[in-house]
A and B are shown apart, each in its own frame.
Chain A
Amino acid sequence: MTPTYYLVLSALLFGLGAVGVLVRRNAIVVFMCIELMLNAVNLSFVTFSRMNGNLDGVVMAFFVMVVAAAEVVVGLAIIMSIFRSRRSASIDDANLLKY
């Protein structure tokens, strides 16, 4: 099985995540789509690591996981705080800042 398939799968997952970010309304779901994008990228890193025959990509994948975890902490804290004041996690409701 050629590694290219994994790259295609990764691109598809990344695209799905990106579309999700753009069309979904719930902040939590948007955030999950971003996580999907990060994990799609990880798949690419691991595949390229195998194709290139060095471990840089694997190392990078570990770093991405750590960063994604940190991002969850910060992101959920922010989304929670706005949810508690608005009783809604919809990003369409957060519309005070415009023009």
Chain B
Amino acid sequence: MSLLTAAPVETIVAPSVDFVAIMPVLILLGAAVISVVVEAAAGRKARYPLQVGLSAVAILGAGAWTVVAGSKSHFAVTLAGAISVDQATYVMWGILLALALVSVLLMADRVSEPGGAFVAQAAARIGSARDRTAALTATPMQTEVFPLTLFAISGMMVFPAASDMITLFIALEVLSLPLYLMCGLARRRRLISQEAAVKYFLLGAFASAILLYGIALLYGYAGSLRFADIAAVSQAGGRNDLLLLIGMALLVVGLLFKGSVGPFHSWTPDVYQGAPTPVTAFMASCTKVAAFAAMLRIFMVAFEPTSWSWRGVMWAVAIASMLIGAIIGITQTDLKRVLAYSSVAHAGFLLLGVISLSEKGVSSTLFYLLTYGFATIGAFALLTLVRSGEGEAPHLSAWAGMAKKSPVLAGIMTLFLLSFAGIPLTSGFIGKLTIFTAATESGMAPLVVVAMVATAITAFFYLRVVVLMYFAAPVPVTGGVDDSETVAVALPGAFTMIVIAVCAAVTLLLGLLPSAVIDLLTVHFPLLS
């Protein structure tokens, strides 16, 4: 008796689609497809303005739609329960699109690195004649990065809105696959860029296979792929709990990997260092938003009834993440790696908000993601400006005495670093304050104490950079023969200038006048599913 003969023949009813609710995703996906066509059809010169314009317009359009539909409270669970668009979704989308717009502008800059941060021809073998000519003549960058970015942003939009496991998995892959490629497109130091792409790809694919096995076991447990059904079945109980527990563990490991949390962070420093800096900024801000927003929904909707079984483990993961990020970060000498370990530590803080499982926890996590995202993009944007003969100079020694070379750059960098450290009057302080308050109210006071200690440790390595910039003498030119080691501050192009100004303004404003934004980002339960 096979399944097909046993099951009664059902007529398949086409699911209803609420186009108004999912329009922001459709705008971005549509723009991504058009962008591929532009890449193929438009002339070499015309591509760059077309691609930048298209990406910016698509993100702005999706953002405007999100704001309007969100303010009208147009909520829906659509596509046969695959996507839920509720108030939390709109907030997540808004944050994601704001950060994505800034990242895309940073990618589009072709001034501080002549020709752009991306390689002129990714297919040209490193060291071949074609590759060297492109490097010498500063051939303009490939614009393939824009369609890839648009696809990645679409995946990131669907990821936190997903309400069943199929959509979750597809969205995860749609956001990951373009990112793997984008990591390998750096113009300078192409070998380490390609190495970062290989590492990210192999580890990422490994993690998604683990996540997928988790999904399979949860499906075996609940008999359904929808979050709400999994919650209902686990609440009723009476089934094989082993499947539930192992499935949950594997699924969460996959998600924690994407969010570069705690013991699953091993790819983060290498990939952040090797990838082109604008892509690193994009990954550090937008991927984190997507991963944590998706975690919020899964924990709140699917795993809330079984929180007794996983909360203890998540405590351990959060502690591990905070301490690993803080302690290993101290030993780093490359600013990109410092920021990578800082992102691991921040992932631990964010996890506090996620496992609070309260309205306040969700709201504070989203606010923290906003503050952290803008500060990170700003810091990476500044990093693209400090250059030596062989491109960016991310080594900490290059930043010694920066306040004398460029007081403005040193000042703004200090602002971002203070925000990471959570010093009052910056957005980072408000972010930490809200998240720690939410965690304490959910009975996680011991965890908050650990978080405080981790904050103090991370403050050490942020302030070390500040001290280096203000109180250390610039390192003299070593060797004295060639001047490739001379560190200079490049004049930013218009796009980078806008990015830095916006990030600095947001970091200051959210630190001084946070209440309006916090009100806007406050999520009201219940989440639809």
A: residues with CB less than 8 A from B are 7, 14, 17-18, 21, 27, 30-31, 34, 37-38, 40-41, 44-45, 47-57, 59-60, 63-64, 67, 70-71, 74-75, 77-79, 81-82, 84-86, 91, 94, 96-99
Contact A41 B212 (CB under 8 A): yes
Q: In this complex, which of B6, B125, B194, B210 has the most chain A Cβ atoms within 10 angstroms of its Cβ?
A: B194
Please indicate the chain A residues that have their CB under 8 angstroms from the CB of B166 in the complex.
56, 59-60, 63
Interface size on B, residues (CB 8 A): 49
The digit string for B203-217, where 1 denotes a CB below 8 A from any CB of A, is 001100110110111
Please indicate the chain B residues that have their CB under 8 angstroms from the CB of A14 in the complex.
209, 213
Q: In this complex, which of A40, A67, A86 has the most chain B Cβ atoms within 10 angstroms of its Cβ?
A: A67
Nearest chain B CB to A2 CB, angstrom units: 14
Instruction: Please provide the 9 A-B residue pairs with the shortest distance between their CB atoms, ordered closest to farther.
Output: A52-B223, A85-B126, A37-B209, A48-B220, A44-B216, A97-B270, A94-B195, A82-B194, A34-B205
Contact for B127 among A31, A38, A49, A85, CB less than 8 A: A85
Contact B122 A45 (CB under 8 A): no
Contact A34 B202 (CB under 8 A): yes
Q: How many angstroms between the C-alpha atoms of A34 and B173 in the bound complex?
A: 14
Contact for B273 among A47, A67, A74, A97, CB less than 8 A: A97
Contact B194 A53 (CB under 8 A): no
Asked, given contacts A82-B194, A97-B196, whether A54 binds B224 with beta carbons under 8 Å apart, the answer is yes
Q: Does B219 contact A (CB under 8 A)?
A: yes
Contact B202 A91 (CB under 8 A): yes
Q: How many angstroms between the C-alpha atoms of A31 and B197 in the bound complex?
A: 14
Asked, given contacts A27-B202, A63-B166, A94-B198, whether A78 binds B219 with beta carbons under 8 Å apart, the answer is no
Please indicate the chain B residues that have their CB under 8 angstroms from the CB of A81 in the complex.
122-123, 184, 194, 197
Nearest chain B CB to A64 CB, angstrom units: 7
Q: How many angstroms between the C-alpha atoms of A63 and B217 in the bound complex?
A: 17
Q: How many angstroms between the C-alpha atoms of A77 and B170 in the bound complex?
A: 20
Q: How many angstroms between the C-alpha atoms of A17 and B212 in the bound complex?
A: 14
Q: How many angstroms between the C-alpha atoms of A53 and B194 in the bound complex?
A: 46
The digit string for B269-285, where 1 denotes a CB below 8 A from any CB of A, is 11001100000000000
Extra 4 A-B pairs, beta carbons < 8 Å, given A41-B216, A70-B177, A94-B198: A55-B7, A78-B197, A82-B198, A96-B192
Contact for B212 among A38, A74, A96, CB less than 8 A: A38
Q: How many angstroms between the C-alpha atoms of A74 and B180 in the bound complex?
A: 8
Contact A97 B274 (CB under 8 A): yes
Contact A85 B190 (CB under 8 A): yes
Contact B181 A63 (CB under 8 A): no
Please indicate the chain A residues that have their CB under 8 angstroms from the CB of B195 in the complex.
82, 94, 96-97
Please indicate the chain A residues that have their CB under 8 angstroms from the CB of B65 in the complex.
none
Q: Does B165 contact A (CB under 8 A)?
A: yes
Please indicate the chain B residues that have their CB under 8 angstroms from the CB of A27 in the complex.
198, 202
Q: In this complex, which of A37, A47, A78 has the most chain B Cβ atoms within 10 angstroms of its Cβ?
A: A78
12 A-B pairs with CB atoms under 8 Å apart are A18-B209, A34-B206, A37-B206, A48-B219, A49-B3, A56-B225, A70-B173, A78-B194, A79-B198, A79-B201, A82-B194, A96-B191
Nearest chain B CB to A59 CB, angstrom units: 7
Q: Does B199 contact A (CB under 8 A)?
A: yes
B: residues with CB less than 8 A from A are 3, 6-7, 122-123, 125-127, 165-166, 169-170, 173, 177, 180-181, 184, 190-192, 194-199, 201-202, 205-206, 209-210, 212-213, 215-217, 219-220, 223-225, 269-270, 273-274, 332-333, 337
Contact for A31 among B7, B191, B202, CB less than 8 A: B202
Please indicate the chain B residues that have their CB under 8 angstroms from the CB of A98 in the complex.
270
Nearest chain B CB to A58 CB, angstrom units: 8
Q: How many angstroms between the C-alpha atoms of A75 and B177 in the bound complex?
A: 9
Nearest chain A CB to B487 CB, angstrom units: 21
Contact A85 B194 (CB under 8 A): yes
Q: In this complex, which of B169, B194, B205 has the most chain A Cβ atoms within 10 angstroms of its Cβ?
A: B205
Nearest chain A CB to B364 CB, angstrom units: 34
Contact for B219 among A21, A38, A52, CB less than 8 A: A52
Closest Cβ neighbor of B173 among chain A residues: A67
Nearest chain A CB to B332 CB, angstrom units: 8
Q: How many angstroms between the C-alpha atoms of A17 and B257 in the bound complex?
A: 19
Q: How many angstroms between the C-alpha atoms of A45 and B224 in the bound complex?
A: 11
Nearest chain B CB to A52 CB, angstrom units: 4
Closest Cβ neighbor of B184 among chain A residues: A78
Please indicate the chain A residues that have their CB under 8 angstroms from the CB of B212 in the complex.
37-38, 41, 64
Q: How many angstroms between the C-alpha atoms of A77 and B178 in the bound complex?
A: 12
Q: How many angstroms between the C-alpha atoms of A75 and B513 in the bound complex?
A: 46
Contact for B181 among A31, A40, A77, A84, CB less than 8 A: A77
Contact A38 B220 (CB under 8 A): no
Closest Cβ neighbor of A17 among chain B residues: B209
Contact B270 A74 (CB under 8 A): no
Nearest chain B CB to A84 CB, angstrom units: 5
Q: How many angstroms between the C-alpha atoms of A91 and B199 in the bound complex?
A: 8
Contact A85 B191 (CB under 8 A): yes
Please indicate the chain A residues that have their CB under 8 angstroms from the CB of B198 in the complex.
27, 78-79, 82, 91, 94
